[in-house]
Amino acid sequence: MRLTFSLALLFVRIACADDLQTYEKVVTKDAKTSTGLFTVHRIADRFYYEIPKSELDKEFLWNTRIAKTTLGVAFGGALTSERVVRWHRNANKLLLLDVNFEVTADPRTPIAPSVAASDNETIVMSFDIATLGKDGAPVIEVTRLFVGDIPEFNVRQRIGATYLDADRTWIDRISPYPDNIEVEATQTWTRNDSPAPAAGQMHPGNATIVVHHSMVRLPETPMRPRIADDRVGFFTTTQVDYSRDEKRAAEVHYIDRWRLEKKDPDAPVSDPVKPIVYYIDSATPVKWRDWIRKGVESWQPALEAAGFRNAIVANMAPDPKDDPDFSPEDIRHSVIRWLPSTIENAFGPNIHDPRTGEILSADIEFYQNMLNLTRNWYITQVGPLDTRVRELPLPDDVVGESIRYIVAHEVGHTLGLEHNLKASSMYPADKVHDKDWVHRMGYSPSIMDYVRYNYVAQPEDGIPVEDLAPRVGPYDIWAIHWGYTPLPEFEEKATLDKWAHEEDETPWYRYVTGNAYGAEPGEQREAVGDADAVQSTALGMKNLKRVAKMLVPLTAARPDEMYTDLPELYEATLAQWTQEMNHVIAIVGGVNAQTKHTGDPGPVFTSVPKERQKRAVAFLMENAFATPTWAIDPEIVRRFEPAGTLNRIRNAQTGLLNNLLDTNRFTRLVELESWSPTEFLTAVRKGVWRELDQSTVSIDAYRRNLQRAWLDIAIARSNTGVGDERPFYLAEIKALKLSLSSALVRARGAETRAHIHASLDEIAQTLKPRTLSESSPRPAAQASAIAATGQLDCWTVPEPPR
């Protein structure tokens, strides 16, 4: 029976082959042929793949990027899709299959066939085999794969298009290389609908995009993966492994890392067989290239600690005249791309093998306008500490140092490291402005934190300007050592666990704690010295007041120009103020956390002590909610606007108050019992309305705005609050009513009296007995006020660009 079936299959194959055209009829003398992973034939505007039989049913990583774009639509270099595919022959058809590695099982286990059946590979496209080449290699026309509207590979969703116009779409080139194939296609997309597009998406009309496809053969011998540990911050590749001996569907997490192998396996430190090479985009301005190289190669000591010398280098991309086939989108090349864009951002994605986490390629996208953002950070955080900051534009060495640290941060991502906001809070607060400590250890143990410059440092500390910017630190070196040091398989698990426990003795090796959900005051963005955010923010405030005095002379150094830099830097100064105040707010209702595994002593989460929380609220009343006279100097604001400062301060303080009175924070106070929630609410009320206890009551416009914001929040919580919020806020409103009534006779000025009367009227409306139907929905006007001030999402602080 088996013989009969085999003969039948042979007859089918012979019949199929007889149905095909001759090779010469398909690949005519007009064909332009290129050889590589596949042989590519171009005949006029049609393209053919000749796929060696040895490459059939192998796995390829396919990613699609936007190489060029219409102004305002996405950006060049954006990755739009990534998947694993394989080419499979079925009679006279060649199938392009989508392969998924999210679920897996050891092929030796009984469950393996069932797992395979639960994840049948999707047929992305079917091609007629036109002819057979040498050694039976199928030849197919692939033109429609790149000019058709194929959901798995198109950019429709990314750019918000409606349809692809075939008449204005074509393949520019297909370039085969030994391990990969690169394709570029010009595609013209149309959008018909009129709603406002999302950021980076096209407006109604047309957009012509150049799309780049890279297909690379995955390693035939997969890299041995390294199991992730949540105490060390690596990006991970996740699979559900149904063959593990657990009574559940077990997830397995592998860290993402490059395959580094020693030339001399027996040497403690050796050059790698293949180093990690980053190419600097030829579009990069010449004066910044060396700073980019320094950023890349600043990781050499970390990799050397893992046993690899000269493991990471930066080279200039070859000149097109010397290597016309070099492409920054080629997946074989890791490129730092300099992009002409007004976006203030940079990011560093990597492409990795979904089977093992092996990083195969990485790109760093650096938008030119990132230089403007770093300028604002530098001036508002450490401008008073650097004598070079006396006029605009900033000197090239200041800008170059910013480029160095941004590139180093993004390279960290491409090496597999996630952000670590925790480690910096483990440095003692006094040390981050200690000249000797900072020179030796840095002011943050990790460049993977969001720490820009050392805003805690004071002029009298004498810290050299080169130590004011972040650098690869102790945590980074430790994490790379943990992730990249070669280990024998039989001892890897025990050794990695031993290394991870080193954070018990060296706390700045710690990584962010899972499930903290924003409750950990040591895991804050843009925070320096957050081991004691009150002390550090007090020092930061001294610098901000110095910055305010610098703004006019700094921006006036450009004669005959409009005041454009002044308002931008003023806004940046206020943003820095609110950012630092939010670090203090995080202490209230906060928890200290350390990731632990079963068997480790002690709890993961412990409450921040009551006295520390009380100290934070007292500080906020004097620095966040007092009228910031240093920030409303008419010598600054009247140079660029007739009015607006009142609203600007109101919005900033309202946002801070919303954060302080956040429902999640209140709930933690109730549950953790670290500080009585009624004591907390009373302290805030008395601080915000402190004029009511003075012998003469006079309330300025800035304070009236703040007090109205408090009353809006309190009324909203008394109506629709969660748990104890409703009765506790109602009690606060009643207490305020008594204070307002008592203060009315001591009020001075028509504005103050009007404010007190209006507040009493609003409280009366709130306390007025209501029927059930009246008390259920929130009044429309009140709901609008809450929405306008963002009270429905009051914990979220806007995330700054990376």
Question: Are 558 and 613 in a shared domain?
Answer: no
Q: How far is residue 435's CA from residue 259's CA, in Å, rounded to a whole number?
A: 38
Indicate the residue among 217, 248, 267 that finishes a domain.
217
Indicate the residue among 217, 235, 267 that finishes a domain.
217
Which residue would you say has higher pLDDT here, 304 or 6? Answer: 304
Q: How far is residue 179's CA from residue 301's CA, in Å, rounded to a whole number?
A: 31
Q: What pLDDT digit, counting tens, does each position of 630-675 carry?
A: 999 999 999 989 999 999 999 999 999 999 999 999 999 999 999 9
Indicate the residue among 536, 568, 600 that finishes a domain.
568
Average pLDDT over residues 58-78: 80
CB 190 within 8 A of CB 161: yes
For residue 268, tell me if it sits in a domain: no
Quote the pLDDT of residue 1.
Answer: 35
Q: How far is residue 633's CA from residue 547's CA, in Å, rounded to a whole number?
A: 12
For residue 259, tell me if it sits in a domain: no
CB 417 within 8 A of CB 476: yes
Average pLDDT over residues 576-589: 97
Percent of the chain with pLDDT over 70: 89
**In the predicted model, is pLDDT for residue 783 greater than 90?**
no
* 791 Cβ neighbours under 8 A, 6+ residues apart: 658, 712, 713, 716
**In the predicted model, is pLDDT for residue 307 greater than 80?**
yes
**In the predicted model, is pLDDT for residue 800 greater than 50?**
no
Quote the pLDDT of residue 483.
Answer: 98
Provide the pLDDT confidence category of residue 331 given band limits of 50, 70 and 90: confident
CA torsion sign for 149, 154, 160, 166 is negative
Question: Are 340 and 412 in a shared domain?
Answer: yes
Print the domain residue range for 9: 2-217
Buried b / exposed e over 15-28, threshold 16 CB at 10 Å, is: ebeeebeebeebbe
Which residue would you say has higher pLDDT here, 239 or 802? Answer: 239
Q: 81: exposed, middle or buried (C-beta count within 10 Å: 0-12, 13-18, 19+)? A: middle
CB 292 within 8 A of CB 280: yes
Measured in residues, the chain has a length of: 802
Question: Are 203 and 343 in a shared domain?
Answer: no
Question: Residue 751, SS3?
Answer: helix
Question: Are 537 and 666 in a shared domain?
Answer: no
Quote the pTM value. 0.86
For residue 246, tell me if it sits in a domain: no
Quote the pLDDT of residue 105.
Answer: 56
For residue 128, tell me if it sits in a domain: yes
CA–CA distances in Å: residue 484 to residues 176, 255, 333, 473: 32, 10, 21, 16
**In the predicted model, is pLDDT for residue 196 greater than 50?**
yes
**In the predicted model, is pLDDT for residue 796 greater than 90?**
no
CA torsion sign for 236, 237, 240, 242 is negative
Question: Are 562 and 616 in a shared domain?
Answer: no
- Percent of the chain that is helix, strand, coil (3-state, to 5): 40, 20, 40
Question: Are 544 and 649 in a shared domain?
Answer: no
Q: What pLDDT digit, counting tens, does each position of 28-61 carry?
A: 999 999 999 999 999 999 999 999 999 999 999 9
* 714 Cβ neighbours under 8 A, 6+ residues apart: 685, 729, 732, 733, 736
Mean pLDDT of the chain: 88
CA torsion sign for 533, 370, 69, 35 is negative
Question: Are 536 and 621 in a shared domain?
Answer: no
Question: Are 558 and 617 in a shared domain?
Answer: no
Query: How many structural domains compose the chain?
Result: 3
Q: What pLDDT digit, counting tens, does each position of 432-456 carry?
A: 999 999 999 999 999 999 989 999 9
Quote the pLDDT of residue 778.
Answer: 45
Question: Are 542 and 623 in a shared domain?
Answer: no
Q: How many CB atoms lie within 10 A of CB 30?
A: 9
Provide the pLDDT confidence category of residue 356 given band limits of 50, 70 and 90: very high
For residue 604, tell me if it sits in a domain: no
Quote the pLDDT of residue 104.
Answer: 60
DSSP 8-state assignment for residue 103: E
